[in-house]
Amino acid sequence: CYCSTFRVDSQVPCDPGLEEQNEDNGNWAKYFAVQYTPNVRCKVPTTEAPQSDGLQRLLPISVLTISMNKVSEGVNDNKLSIAYYREKTEELGKAVLHLTAVEISLDVDADRDGVVEKNNPNKGSWKWGPSGHGAILLVNCDSESTYMKKVDSSTDKVTKVSDLLDMSRMVLRTNGPAELPQGYKLALQISQSDGESIRVFKKRKPEGAMKSLHKIFSMFVKEFPLVLGNDVLSQEVPYVGGSNEVDFFVEGLRFPDKDFGGLVTINLSLLEPSAQDFPETPIFTDKVVFRVAPWIMTPNTLKPVEVFVCSTSDNNKFLKEIKALVEGSGYKLNICKEYMNRGDRWMQDELEFGYIDAPHQHFPVVLDSPRDGKLQNFPYEVLLGPDFGYVTRMASDEKVTSLDSFGNLEVSPPVTVNGRAYPLGRIIIGVAFPTTSQGRNMTKVVQDFLWAQKVQQPIALYSDWLVVGHVDEFMTFVPAPDRKGFRLLLASPDAGYKLFHRLQNEGYGKAKQFDGLGKKHEITLDELLSDKALRAENLYVQNCIDWNRDVLKRELGLDDEDIIDLPILFKILEDNRAAAYYPDMVNMIVLGNKLGIPKPFGPKVNGRCALEAEMCSLMVPLGLSCTFIDDFASYHKLLGEVHCGSNVRREPFKTKWWSLEL
């Protein structure tokens, strides 16, 4: 009878035909009896009660469930034989099964504790949530080398052995005889589309898995050849006898996006040779599933790590004041020199800092804007490096607008909205208003990317009413000790007019806005308040902001008490679009409880700027300290402020993205 390797608890039809015909043609068995070696377990269908003499009545379909309780020490070291009888005394013939038991398991860190466990029952699927399961993969988007650097995933080699730490470990565990039966083999397989999303490298040396991953530092990259990738969707992997483990390292190649949900599957098959020259067929498969980690943004409420600004020919004063604030607060200040920024001072707009996180590894990742001003080389040339990742999206055909700058890409602190929690907050972008089918928008490829990350579901605000068109021109978030742990700050012309009216009524009508900036700027409150055009413009601006206020209240689940209106006026410039009239205090840098706020040059009351005083009276009760930074000449006049001119890398969330309930 044809012999084969059976996987544990597989079934064999006990087919007398083949044997028996040779023995005795024209006769047919009515009974059978089963015998087997000690490690074999055999279940006879209970429907067939054994006869007194231990014989079984042979039914049209008699199925024996055969298993082994111990792996084989040699090929076919176990047997099961079936003797066939016509009458109970007369043996007609025997069928003999030769059995080889092998234990095979492809293992990953499906319980997300940073360690590859053994044969996790959930390794073949992926589930969100604290009680969820499924392994996690990072896009290998950093660069192990700093000289002649490339994003690691751009080559199909292991850049340095340290690169393996950015990959997810996968272990092939086998237990069985010294070799598999003649012609049998093991193979790993991935699908065509997964070939675009992952690569798999293997530790060449077969002498078992590494106890500690730090062992890799004593090894060479050539010891980790590529086994699976875009051009190799299937590859045989060696079987090593006895109880053995082989290390694999899985590399993520792309982030979730419109055309990629983020899940990938790796299959392991035990292949059986076929008669003649037919292809082998698998008789056992195991599979593991990974989800590629999303790119995550960090809100103002997270602890800063380092601050980035540009030095230009004309911003020394600004730099001095920023330096004092940042270093005074105990954070690292990085100054991007002019040879690199080529006069482009808008550090906020060229890039967004985020991070990727897995149980075994995490690092910051910069999202490079399609804006591509003169700062465009900075993210790749300066930021990309060991454990500092880089990702970008190029605007396809559509033209890039000012709304593609990342001053127009922010993220809220964690919120809960009618019972639904967003523990990592929600991304906020600005777009054209739906009532106009024209208008500027954030380019589609970037929007698709942001939505596809899933864990910080985006909110689209209306920012096209501004000349520059960035959400950071009218809103920001600051930490707060009470309520939801933060306040939403909104620019408010109404609050501005209210303050100025009060001052006028208190007799300061002659006090000057832009005080200290010289005659050509200064204007008295009486003049300002009697400017009907300016008032009308600000009524319009207030409407635009109120619209966004409603959206933010609804999408972030905020009450009016969670929102603070800052006294800021706007001015309409070209084609009915607005810009801040005086330095836009909401466009601030938030460093813990220290705020770096554009110096508003408001009217002086008893020698103190009334706008600064108002700002402090609103922030100080929240335990926040205000530092006013003069950005008038070097930023405000160019339609930007402190926030536009800086960027902050922050610590990641304590909350793990895979624990979200999605």
Residues interacting with a copy of itself, by CB under 8 A?
2, 11, 13, 15, 17-18, 20-21, 25-28, 63, 187, 189-192, 232-234, 258-259, 267, 269, 271-272, 274-283, 433-437, 465, 494, 497-498, 501-502, 504-507, 509, 529, 533, 536-537, 539-540, 543-544, 546-547, 560, 572, 576
Alpha helices by DSSP H, listed for 280-381, are 316-328, 338-341, 347-350, 378
Contacts of 489 (CB under 8 A, 6+ apart): 475, 476, 477, 478, 563, 564, 566, 586
Q: How far is the CB of 276 from a copy of itself (least distance, A)?
A: 6
From 286, 472, 565, 631, the catalytic residue:
472
From 133, 360, 470, 643, the catalytic residue:
470
Contacts of 88 (CB under 8 A, 6+ apart): 31, 51, 53, 55
Q: Is residue 24 annotated as part of the catalytic site, yes or no?
A: no
Q: Is residue 349 annotated as part of the catalytic site, yes or no?
A: yes
Cβ-based nearer residue to a copy of itself, 483 or 637: 483
For residue 479, give Cα distances in angstroms to 92, 163, 415, 622, 629: 87, 37, 13, 8, 20
Q: How far is the CB of 34 from a copy of itself (least distance, A)?
A: 18
For residue 36, give Cα distances in angstroms to 66, 97, 405: 10, 9, 74
Amino acid identity at 449: F
Cα gap 99→77, rounded to integer Å: 7
Amino acid identity at 629: I
Cα gap 120→135, rounded to integer Å: 10
Cα gap 119→320, rounded to integer Å: 58
Cβ-based nearer residue to a copy of itself, 79 or 498: 498
Residue pair 292/137 in contact (Cβ under 8 Å)? The answer is: yes
Q: How far is the CB of 576 from a copy of itself (least distance, A)?
A: 5
Cβ-based nearer residue to a copy of itself, 122 or 655: 122
Cβ-based nearer residue to a copy of itself, 243 or 281: 281
Cα gap 639→519, rounded to integer Å: 21
Cβ-based nearer residue to a copy of itself, 148 or 275: 275
- Residue 447, both tokens: 């929007």
- Residue 273, both tokens: 């040779």
For residue 303, give Cα distances in angstroms to 267, 298, 299, 431, 479: 41, 9, 9, 29, 10
- Tokens 């390292």 locate to 249
Q: How far is the CB of 91 from a copy of itself (least distance, A)?
A: 16
Q: Is residue 644 annotated as part of the catalytic site, yes or no?
A: yes
From 109, 349, 464, 631, the catalytic residue:
349
Q: How far is the CB of 462 from a copy of itself (least distance, A)?
A: 9
Q: How far is the CB of 565 from a copy of itself (least distance, A)?
A: 9
Residue pair 518/615 in contact (Cβ under 8 Å)? The answer is: no
Contacts of 447 (CB under 8 A, 6+ apart): 429, 458
Q: How far is the CB of 592 from a copy of itself (least distance, A)?
A: 27
Q: Is residue 404 annotated as part of the catalytic site, yes or no?
A: no
Cβ-based nearer residue to a copy of itself, 567 or 598: 567
From 544, 609, 626, 644, the catalytic residue:
644
Cβ-based nearer residue to a copy of itself, 421 or 539: 539
User: Which positions are annotated as active-site residues?
Assistant: 349, 470, 472, 644
